[in-house]
Structure 1
Amino acid sequence: MSHPQRLLLSASAELSPLVGPELAMCGIDLQVPREGVSSLPRREVDGLLVTTPAELHGVNGIARLSETSGLLLVYGAGNPYGWADQLADEVQENKRWEVVRMALVADQERVLLGGEPDGKWLRRLSRHLAAHGRMSYVCARREVDEVIRQLPRYLAWKERFFLELGDTCDAEGISLRSVSRALGLDRRVGQEWWFPAREDHAQLCAWLMRETSAILEKANIRRIVLWGPWSLWKQMPVGWLKDYEVILYIKQDEPFPNDIAPTWSIQRDREEALVQADLLLLAQHDPVIGELPLPSLARIMRQPIVLDAAGCFPLQEARAYLSLYRAIGEKTNVWE
């Protein structure tokens, strides 16, 4: 049985391509405002969607706020802390509006909803999300803000703990993968600790640079392939790997970086990137590398040496097919 979509007027024409797809999965469609003509909605909408204070500034924002009513949905992780509560105070005298704070978490599978406990739209939106397969947690607006503020900090602390545990496992000659899985049997810990959606890559960069230096001292390396987000590699020090041929693999759907080092080259074909490579540096797991069989990887590369900061491959297979496989807390086939 299909369920109808809610329709919100977007406070800005630029919002639809940015947040439209993820909201559509939650059963919410956006109507793009028409510029240069009356901002009255083309058909009845349930309310207005905003993500930043700037969208309500100026004539257009004021007009849209005055010409629509119902749900004023403050969406996303980028708006200022406490702004939803501030909006609620500003429209308190206008009984047409109910301000609800909304954010997606858990890889967009769960929804945080913040509002008044007796809010009509808060409960209506919670039921609507459930009908579209999205479980929501209902709380106060500022509590949603606090979760958004603290979640990256917690994930960074958790990642730092396991990186330090990896060094301990290295020193003791045991497997971080085994230890972390055992720890994860306790539901308070959980099985996952890698945090791919990070902005600060300093911890992984430090590990990659340290382990890369160790490999370069022991092996005759000429060609190095970097596999992972450009946001990570550009945080490496200037001149890193300047004496080597470096190939940056960029997937077909990723934007083309325009500020790479002059001596680096870019390749969008995975096999072309790996041909005759001596060292593969993996900074993030993705389906493309996961689909590549290790025997094929070993055959394509000149030297099948892999430094893996994302735990992409099963350890037993890595031992069997790769000359050297080094992962966090896993000294597999390391020459020592």
Structure 2
Amino acid sequence: MRLLALSEEITSVESRDLKACGIQLIPYGKQTQWAGQKVDGVLLTKEASQAAWEEALPVLSATPGLLLLYGPSIPYGWAQRLVDNSDGDEAWEVVRMALVADGEKALIGGSADGFWVRTLCRSLAKSQRVSLVCKAKEVDEAVRQLPLYLAWKERFFVELGEVCDQEEISLQTVARAMGMDRRVGQDWLYPERLDHRRVMQWIEREGRLVAEKANVHRIALWGPAALWREMDKSWLQGKEVCLVAQEDEPIPNDIFPEWTTNRTWEKGLEDADLLVIGKADGIIRGLPLHELVLCMKQAIVLDACACFPLQEARSLLHSYRAIGEKTNVWE
């Protein structure tokens, strides 16, 4: 399936996810030469892209095809309004689509008898993805409510961690036990949250404590620069702070002028006394702990993402603090 897409809007992640679903994107925009290639329809990811779609209509095939509204940035109810304003049988088939469960499942909003709905479902099935066909506004509602629920679940997890700290028991064990009930599940943290304040408050509180109890001079912060804006950074005063940034992450010079930035974890952790993990990625989750210990001056880790197995952290690290876990702590 080939869809015309606005090259200025489509991110590399969106392009990758759609390609995995059997959808090939053909760029269309001011900086690209489309040259009238044959396509099956048009992809829209934002309401603002409708103007460009209307601009492309005269050069598209005379036979209406698929108008796919994809992703979390589609305004609520927009797909249904396009359907309501369509011109009957000669209209483009409007389909609302969103991926969930890390892209392993798809929500398809449209007519169950629609040609392109059925085509999308077959394409998803070929890539081993389960699809649910429903109304377009039902997809919109699911997309709107899912992050709210996941953020609430994470808040519950953090609050449960406070209880586990007080009772001197393991949050990971309690959470794993609760997750044995299929209605609960095992995934608790929500890295895509929009509000990081609760996690940042936990990091600040625990960071102040370790700074008081241990001889900490150099601190490495693991996570995107935007994350640390929401944290009270007064506890970092007088410390040498290094931000471990991803290679493709832009770091404005005026945000943290007193901090250093390293694009590789080896340089970022070199001679660090304390590692603070605010948001985990594949690198830190796959990093062998013994390599981390060799890089750091003191193997003290403050982990808001539960990256490491507790038994291994207990045996290899000098001190390890995760939410609801006091392992070799500094108290």
Q: Provide the TM-score with structure 1 as the length reference.
A: 0.90
Deviations 1:67-101 (A, max 9, x none): 44111111111011000001111214362311100
- 74 and 151 in structure 1: CA distance in 2 versus 1, 3 angstrom threshold: same
**In the TM superposition, what is the alpha-carbon distance from 1:203 to its structure 2 partner?**
1.4
- Indicate conservation of the 8 Å contact 1:277/1:302, yes or no: yes
Between 168-177 and 251-260, the greater mean CA deviation after superposition: 251-260
Counterparts of 1:128-167 in structure 2, within 5 Å, are: 128-167=123-162
Structure 2 residue 40 is matched with structure 1 residue 53: no
- In the alignment, the residues of structure 2 paired with residue 214 and residue 311 of structure 1 have an alpha-carbon distance, to the nearest angstrom, of 19
- 277 and 238 in structure 1: CA distance in 2 versus 1, 3 angstrom threshold: closer
Between 217-226 and 111-120, the greater mean CA deviation after superposition: 111-120
Structure 2 residue 254 is matched with structure 1 residue 255: no
**In the TM superposition, what is the alpha-carbon distance from 1:249 to its structure 2 partner?**
0.4
Q: Which runs of 5+ in 1 are unaligned?
A: 1-5
**In the TM superposition, what is the alpha-carbon distance from 1:188 to its structure 2 partner?**
0.5
**In the alignment, residue 294 of structure 2 is paired with which amino acid?**
R
Structure 2 residue 57 is matched with structure 1 residue 65: yes
> Aligned to 1:243, what secondary structure does the other structure show?
coil
Structure 2 residue 38 is matched with structure 1 residue 44: yes
- Indicate conservation of the 8 Å contact 1:100/1:122, yes or no: yes
Alignment partner, residue 3 of structure 1: none
- In the alignment, the residues of structure 2 paired with residue 294 and residue 208 of structure 1 have an alpha-carbon distance, to the nearest angstrom, of 21
> Aligned to 1:224, what secondary structure does the other structure show?
strand
- 297 and 137 in structure 1: CA distance in 2 versus 1, 3 angstrom threshold: same
**In the TM superposition, what is the alpha-carbon distance from 1:239 to its structure 2 partner?**
4.4
**In the TM superposition, what is the alpha-carbon distance from 1:14 to its structure 2 partner?**
1.5
Of 47, 66, 72, the match for 1:77: 72
- Indicate conservation of the 8 Å contact 2:22/2:123, yes or no: yes
**In the TM superposition, what is the alpha-carbon distance from 1:172 to its structure 2 partner?**
0.3
- Indicate conservation of the 8 Å contact 1:109/1:134, yes or no: yes
- Indicate conservation of the 8 Å contact 1:250/1:268, yes or no: yes
- In the alignment, the residues of structure 1 paired with residue 32 and residue 188 of structure 2 have an alpha-carbon distance, to the nearest angstrom, of 50
**In the TM superposition, what is the alpha-carbon distance from 1:189 to its structure 2 partner?**
0.6
- 197 and 243 in structure 1: CA distance in 2 versus 1, 3 angstrom threshold: same
Alignment partner, residue 122 of structure 2: 127
Q: Please tell me the root mean square deviation across aligned C-alpha atoms, in Å.
A: 2.1
> Aligned to 2:287, what secondary structure does the other structure show?
coil
- 315 and 9 in structure 1: CA distance in 2 versus 1, 3 angstrom threshold: same
- Indicate conservation of the 8 Å contact 2:208/2:235, yes or no: no
Of 189, 201, 205, the match for 2:196: 201
- In the alignment, the residues of structure 2 paired with residue 167 and residue 154 of structure 1 have an alpha-carbon distance, to the nearest angstrom, of 20
**In the alignment, residue 261 of structure 2 is paired with which amino acid?**
I
Deviations 1:130-181 (A, max 9, x none): 1232221111100110011001100011000010110000000100011011
Alignment partner, residue 13 of structure 1: 7
- 93 and 240 in structure 1: CA distance in 2 versus 1, 3 angstrom threshold: farther
Q: Which runs of 5+ in 2 are unaligned?
A: none
- In the alignment, the residues of structure 1 paired with residue 236 and residue 41 of structure 2 have an alpha-carbon distance, to the nearest angstrom, of 53
Alignment partner, residue 322 of structure 2: 327
Aligned length: 327
- In the alignment, the residues of structure 1 paired with residue 171 and residue 32 of structure 2 have an alpha-carbon distance, to the nearest angstrom, of 61
> Aligned to 1:32, what secondary structure does the other structure show?
strand
- Indicate conservation of the 8 Å contact 2:204/2:232, yes or no: no
> Aligned to 1:31, what secondary structure does the other structure show?
strand
- In the alignment, the residues of structure 1 paired with residue 37 and residue 277 of structure 2 have an alpha-carbon distance, to the nearest angstrom, of 50
> Aligned to 1:15, what secondary structure does the other structure show?
coil
Q: Provide the TM-score with structure 2 as the length reference.
A: 0.92
What percent of counterpart residues are identical?
51
